[in-house]
Amino acid sequence: STAPEVVCRLEPDSQSAHRAMAFPSQPKQAAGLSGGAPFLSSSDSGKHRLCLFPPRSVAVNKARLKRLGITHILNAAHGTGVYTGPEFYTGLEIQYLGVEVDDFPEVDISQHFRKAAEFIDEALLTYRGKVLVSSEMGISRSAVLVVAYLMIFHDMAILEALMTVRQKRAVYPNDGFLKQLRELNEKLMEEREEDSGQEGGTDEEEDGGDG
């Protein structure tokens, strides 16, 4: 499918350098993952924002989160560097998902791919929200979860997804996490090949019906 356009929406300030990825409005097709960017229009010039920040500088700054209009937070360092949680954001109307995983090559982050991707997708599609994805350094765990999201919900191959993120932020996932992304890539390719085969078989059956 067509890769969503990536544009810089938030400029760095003196306190923390950060970038945001904005995807143009484009409806999700009925075929599910084979469609385009699954976003509806929003008040921000038809853009939805997926924000990649460095560590706690923004994730723990309640005033800044409110000013930015953040509605959802995916903390890829929950309990392992960024010590927040749902109760931390009480009163801000922010939905929170914490992923407790250390940034070591031997750690299994893949078990969180689907849940994190669904959280991002629902935030952008259903709530038309602004999602902040954070981790301790903002270059490995958070980046890997965003890459997995792009692969799962945008039909991107691993290289395309990594380049999409790296266009706006320098990220350096550890080797173990990259290996798990490659495994996800292979799994998604197999699933889509199977889906294509099943659709082809259905078409042949319909063509072979009574004349």
Question: Which pLDDT tens digit goes with each residue over 176-197?
Answer: 999 999 999 999 999 999 988 8
Rounded CA gap, 72 and 69, in Å? 9
In a domain, 24, yes or no: yes
Q: What is the pLDDT of residue 31?
A: 22
In a domain, 178, yes or no: yes
In a domain, 2, yes or no: no
Q: Which of 9-13, 174-178, 194-198 has the lowest mean pLDDT?
A: 9-13
Domain that holds residue 180: 7-205
pLDDT of 32 over the 50 cut: no
In a domain, 164, yes or no: yes
Mean pLDDT of the chain: 77
In a domain, 89, yes or no: yes
Question: Which pLDDT tens digit goes with each residue over 63-112?
Answer: 999 998 999 999 999 998 888 999 999 999 999 999 999 999 999 999 99
In DSSP notation, 36-105 reads S--B---TTTTEEEEEE--SHHHHT-HHHHHHHT--EEEETTBTTTB---GGGGTTTT-EEEE----S-T
| Overall average pLDDT of the 109-131 stretch | 94
If one counts the domains in the chain, the total is: 1
In a domain, 155, yes or no: yes
How are beta strands 19-24 and 47-52 bridged, if at all? antiparallel
Q: What is the pLDDT of residue 55?
A: 58
CATH of the domain at 181: 3.90.190.10
Q: What is the pLDDT of residue 144?
A: 97
| Overall average pLDDT of the 162-187 stretch | 95
Question: Which pLDDT tens digit goes with each residue over 71-84?
Answer: 999 999 999 888 89
In a domain, 85, yes or no: yes
50 — pLDDT class (breaks 50, 70, 90): confident
Q: Which residues, listed in sequence order, are joined to residue 82 by a DSSP beta bridge? A: 78
Q: What is the pLDDT of residue 96?
A: 97
pLDDT of 42 over the 80 cut: no
